[in-house]
Structure 1
Amino acid sequence: MINKAKPKIWYGGDYNPDQWEKPVWDEDLRMFKLAGIDVATLNVFAWALNQPDEETYSFEWLDEMMDKLHADGVGVCLATSTAAHPAWMAKRYPDVLRVDFDGRKRKFGGRHNSCPNSPTYRKYSVRMAEKLAERYKDHPALLIWHVSNEYSGYCYCDNCAEAFREWLKQRYGSLESVNRAWNTGFWGHTFYDWDEIVPPNGLSEEWRGWNGRTATNFQGISLDYCRFQSDSLLECYKLEQAALKQRTPDVPVTTNLMGAFKELDYQKWAKHMDVVSWDNYPSLDTPYSYTAMMHDLMRGLKDGQPFMLMEQTPSQQNWQPYNSLKRPGVMRLWSYQAVAHGADTVMFFQLRRSIGACEKYHGAVIEHVGHEHTRVFRECAELGAELHKLGDTLLDSRVESRIAIVFDWENWWATELSSGPTIALKYVEEVHKFYDALYQAGFSADVVGVDADLSRYDIVIAPVMYMVKPGFAQNVESFVSAGGKFITTYFSGIVDENDIVTLGGYPGELRKVLGIWSEEIDALLPTQSNRIVVKPNAIGLEGSYVSSMLCDLVHSEGAEVVAEYGEDFYKGMPALTVNRFGAGEAWYLATSPEAAFLRDWLPKLCAESSIRPHLQSVPSGVETTLRVKGGKRYLFVLNHNADAVDIQLTEDGGTDLLTGKTISGTSSLAGIDLWIVELKA
């Protein structure tokens, strides 16, 4: 539990006093008290201020602010300031500058602008972490370290090219193994010397294809470059982390992630983080289930351990195409949505609005008007008071689920680097279809990696498992044999971890457990569709459902056919199968269905496994989760609708932690409101 030093749900966010004159500081601290702010993230982008040249370090401003915050009872999430290098560094050491996808050397500017394999960047970033750790290791305000900020971006410079070759040597051992893994016999690309390998970008193997998606001639090298760049940035994090841990071994270390951010394999990163933290920025029209899935994805990175909500906006973003205000009550509701899914902090970007540059219109607790008499400040203060009242009740409680959805970053990369069969296939969207169907029916689901312990679950869903990594098929077979239900879909079991096709028929290593052979894959135009025709009495559904995008032409090899295609030359071929394997079942959905099919079918599978939703029935726009701690159960019921809805609990009810009221039977929940019901034992 990260909250030991301050045993409550931390409340606060990014604060940049270095951008303000000192008279503003005391006024900010006054308003922090009014808002219930008890944690401030400092020093995120202060590298240039802290180090004006190679040899000079100046932390006096930070000393003063750390002391002031501590005196006011505010703890500090202390960042290392290394997310943007100083201008002098770019001028004196050009190796620190990135080369972009088109082969252009960047100038100084922006942020996340450092080459991760630059010796200069690594030297000075680690030195900065060392200086900060030495200076503040005993400071009573220090709660947690925040390394850099929102790592992102790839580089294609000569330093990266050389480091990539070394990375390949470590991964494969020999050029022969590289040639085999990348199938370089295709197009005469065989390599005979390591320095013949160059990064895949717009000057070599890649280009911007349809809809801006990266296209490549060789999926193998592009996939490995994704792995390498993710590892390179991770190495930068680990170097700073090691410097901090050497001097402050008991202070947790994190860096803020960004949900389903494609560039970095967060499942690998999380192994090196004491706690996962992430920045949540949905749009006004983002589906609530998508935001919920992102929270669950972040929670799943460390085996269900509570995470930090490091950033959200109190009101509006500044960088989306349409930066809508959060309507009254929405900030509070979305904050509790994070808590419902496992957050033990509620923090904002930012505490005071900047007056210039690109984030001056990004929302803040303290607006440009500079006082507390605003709608946003009032809502923040009310939430701060509620979180103070909750105390440590929910801290370190866990979200329990008997359903898992498998999500894998490398599979995501490989799926969307594929040269077919359709540009319409978007991995995250396909995963969300299944999550949303469960969400709408009131079921919780963990979002886990391919190396998760599947035995903890009754149902495991692996949508679009295009890449089957070593050991995964065997884990699935063991899970199903022991009585579990496994579901996978179209475009699964096609390739191995190097994006080389598994010969012998799709779905490759999953063919045995699924009991099918997929002979061909038809890609439908956006204007086309097919139908899933359910066989009478097969799965408790009737009639047909629309399907689209992809249609696998499947033959049963022992699996029962429970639905067939209704159109085209493959009318009558299997569209949904189930294979009894040991004590369990393995399902294959051969085509992408309309939402109604998953919403009708998945709850029936849950019922067969005696998995019940949290409510008797779930009204549209209502979300539920359950957190458990020390034998006590806390049911979150969130109403995202503007109007009140009637909620019928499945159990005897309990006490709402926020109001103290007893909730039982059927009760009305106001619009844009929630309950946290401590259920009766």
Structure 2
Amino acid sequence: MPLWYGGDYNPEQWPEVVWAEDVALMRRAGVTLVTVGVFAWSRLEPSEGRHTFGWLDRVLDLLADGGIRVDLAVPTASPPPWFSLAHPDALTVTRDGVRLTHGSRDTYCVSAPAYRAASLRITRALGERYRDHPALAMWHVHNEYGTPCHCDHAAAAFRTWLRERYGGLDALNDAWTTAFWGQHYSDWAQITPPRATQYLPNPAQALDFRRFVSDEMLAHFREQRDLLRELTPEVPVTTNYVLAGWASIDHWKWSREVDLVAVDHYPSGRGTAAAEQTAFAADLARSWANGRPWLLMEQATGYVTGPRMTAKEPGEIARHSLQHVARGAKGVMFFQWRASLGGAEQWHPGMVPHTGPDSRVFREVCALGEALKRIPPDEPADEPLVEAEVAILWDEEAWWAVQAPGLPSAELDCLAAVEQAHRVLWRQGVTTCFAHPSHDLSAYRAVLVPSLYLISDEAARGLGTYVRGGGTLVVSFFSGIADEHTRIRPGGYPGALREILGVRVEEFRPLADAVTLTDFGVATAWSEVVHLDGAEAVARYPGGGPAVTRRRLGEGTAWYVSTRLGDSGYAGVLARAGLAGSGAPGVEIVRRRDRVFALNHTQDEQPVPVHGTDLISGEPLTGVLNPGQCVVVRAT
């Protein structure tokens, strides 16, 4: 199937006279799919049980007549004002005990019975009305799940979830180490979400609450998904993921439940940094999708993070989009079609900016639509969509645990460590994917473990089996320290990985100042007192203690990096471990089945080992990319 192209379309923000112009401009831009109705609940149901679908009927008919398909949204991320007034107990309560008021989006408690019932009613109404509409291509449930609530509804649901997880209070008290600070629970009614408290919260309780939030929201999604599948069994159902510290969503688990993995991505960097972040997000999405095609549901025609919005440089709209396609996207979408004239995100860029279609941005949007038409669809095949020989372990639960207060250093950052591992390999032209610690890793020649604080016994055994079978393992500091309940593994660090790595860390020594190692350059933020127990030192601290070690185990090799290295130092470790790439920084070459994508993110001409006819321009490529150029050629 050809690539999807389009974005969020919010016709309810505009007078009806604009709609026909929108469809004409969409056709001009090559748009094939739009998301409709994400935040339209108050327009679709202006009072309880009274639906006003006439305007949406006309919008969908216009789109269908224009040959544009619809990703029809179930608008449960933004309950209408009448609902909040009728059910104040369903409004969000913060961990500080403050009940929020209506006036933004996501102001609901996913555990509130009234909210769950209202969600199903609007879902059924939409499903029954549009089940046979020719524009319907996909269902879009909710928007960017992840907002928690700490109210009494959430507390009751949390206790139910805990009963199912632990069975009894003895098991819960053991897992949460409630003997500390006299927190032993003798009745389920004593347990609440981790609300604001005098000092540090219980880290196991906080982690379990984030797990609960993910599962509770997944239950909300499943209820709507199952109803829509009953009404339209042939229409796929999805939701859009967001990778953010506030979003308590286990995307590995969720990806087994959606018909299509769909993600939103807004890079915070500029230039090459944005390209690095885009590749990271795309590889993560493809990995969540188990190597299958996925969808970029949202991006922007400009940068929307930081102190102010700035436009992307000419050509970046296409380069970022083609990065996603190269790494497995079956389409690229934007938020949103027209930039809003009012409202909280009126300065969020659109495919049609405030200045209208006579603009650089819209011209680039049209050029991208034309380019995507020229990229042929994937041929059916059994081999992976994108080949990758190196995996980076990623576990959201470990990331959540490292966000808790009370750790040995405020400098510890699981996500930053994972991003560095991916960034360093990307700069060397090494295509990677992500894997959960519980996955079978035997297909990879190397596995990187950046600051994986939590790990189960089973996953640790799997890593040992992987190395003994011939794999290369590179583990970074603060990995393997705690079990899945955040309980520290006694006997020395790195806990569950000591035997595999052949080291025993006696003590953590956070660094106030940078130090220079005997190899791999400067180390910052963190150091450890490392004792060799089967490994050999490859680099040492100024005092002579091991800093980077290597152990040959069975047919494979396990490396340990006990400090934070700069990108060049970490690249040096990976090169010594046999993971050096041949790419040039800022030049991206990715093979997707029978096509090779080559993208130049630099301002200079770059030689590339790619030859053939560019499918986008029709021009021959003779081994050199112009500044900012993107090409797609048939693999030879």
- TM-score, structure 2 normalization: 0.96
Query: C-alpha offsets along residues 67-97 of structure 1, whole Å, 9 cap, x if unaligned?
Result: 1111110000110111110111111111210
Distance 1:394 1:108, change over 3 A: farther
Match of 1:244 in 2: 228
Output the amino acid matched with 2:608. Q
Match of 2:528 in 1: 552
CA-CA distance at 1:663 after TM superposition = 3.0
* Counterparts of residues 461-472 of structure 1 (less than 5 Å): 461-472=448-459
* Counterparts of residues 446-465 of structure 1 (less than 5 Å): 446-465=433-452
CA-CA distance at 1:233 after TM superposition = 1.6
Match of 1:302 in 2: 289
CA-CA distance at 1:260 after TM superposition = 4.7
Output the amino acid matched with 1:120. A
Aligned partners of 2:606 and 2:627 also within 8 Å: no
Are 1:579 and 2:551 matched, yes or no? yes
Which one of the candidate residues 497, 508, 512 is aligned to 1:510?
A: 497
Are 1:266 and 2:251 matched, yes or no? yes
Aligned-partner SS, 2:89: helix
Are 1:254 and 2:238 matched, yes or no? yes
Query: C-alpha offsets along residues 325-347 of structure 1, whole Å, 9 cap, x if unaligned?
Result: 11111111111111122111111
Identity among equivalent pairs (%): 38
Aligned-partner SS, 1:471: helix
Query: C-alpha offsets along residues 486-541 of structure 1, whole Å, 9 cap, x if unaligned?
Result: 1112111111000011122222221111111111111112xx0223214xxxxxxx
Residues in 2 aligned to 1:33 and 1:493: alpha-carbon distance in whole angstroms: 53
CA-CA distance at 1:110 after TM superposition = 0.6
Residues in 1 aligned to 2:400 and 2:558: alpha-carbon distance in whole angstroms: 25
Residues in 2 aligned to 1:670 and 1:287: alpha-carbon distance in whole angstroms: 19
Output the amino acid matched with 2:156. E
CA-CA distance at 1:394 after TM superposition = 7.6
Match of 1:655 in 2: 613
Aligned partners of 2:93 and 2:149 also within 8 Å: yes
Which one of the candidate residues 597, 609, 614 is aligned to 1:636?
A: 597
Distance 1:418 1:368, change over 3 A: closer
CA-CA distance at 1:588 after TM superposition = 0.9
* Counterparts of residues 180-579 of structure 1 (less than 5 Å): 180-202=174-196, 204=197, 216-261=200-245, 262-285=247-270, 286-317=273-304, 320-370=306-356, 372-393=357-378, 398-417=385-404, 419-525=406-512, 528-534=513-519, 544-566=520-542, 571-579=543-551
Match of 1:133 in 2: 127
Aligned-partner SS, 2:403: helix
Residues in 1 aligned to 2:395 and 2:379: alpha-carbon distance in whole angstroms: 29
Distance 1:481 1:431, change over 3 A: same
Are 1:622 and 2:587 matched, yes or no? yes
Query: C-alpha offsets along residues 430-463 of structure 1, whole Å, 9 cap, x if unaligned?
Result: 1111111111111011012122220110100011
Aligned partners of 2:207 and 2:401 also within 8 Å: yes
Aligned-partner SS, 1:176: helix
Aligned partners of 1:299 and 1:306 also within 8 Å: yes
Aligned partners of 1:205 and 1:218 also within 8 Å: no
Aligned-partner SS, 2:307: coil
Distance 1:552 1:394, change over 3 A: farther
Residues in 1 aligned to 2:496 and 2:350: alpha-carbon distance in whole angstroms: 51
Residues in 2 aligned to 1:418 and 1:102: alpha-carbon distance in whole angstroms: 16
Are 1:668 and 2:624 matched, yes or no? yes
Aligned partners of 1:352 and 1:367 also within 8 Å: yes
Which runs of 5 or more structure 2 residues have no equivalent in the other structure? Answer: none
Query: C-alpha offsets along residues 106-142 of structure 1, whole Å, 9 cap, x if unaligned?
Result: 1112101110101011001011111111111122211
Aligned-partner SS, 2:590: strand
Match of 2:62 in 1: 68
CA-CA distance at 1:574 after TM superposition = 1.2
Are 1:24 and 2:10 matched, yes or no? no
Query: C-alpha offsets along residues 569-627 of structure 1, whole Å, 9 cap, x if unaligned?
Result: xx2111111111111111111111121112223134335xxxx84xxx43332222221
Are 1:588 and 2:560 matched, yes or no? yes
Aligned partners of 1:9 and 1:395 also within 8 Å: no
Distance 1:205 1:624, change over 3 A: farther
Output the amino acid matched with 1:583. E
What is the aligned length?
631
Aligned-partner SS, 2:318: helix
Residues in 2 aligned to 1:606 and 1:260: alpha-carbon distance in whole angstroms: 33
Moved beyond 4 Å, runs of 4+: 393-397
Output the amino acid matched with 1:22. E
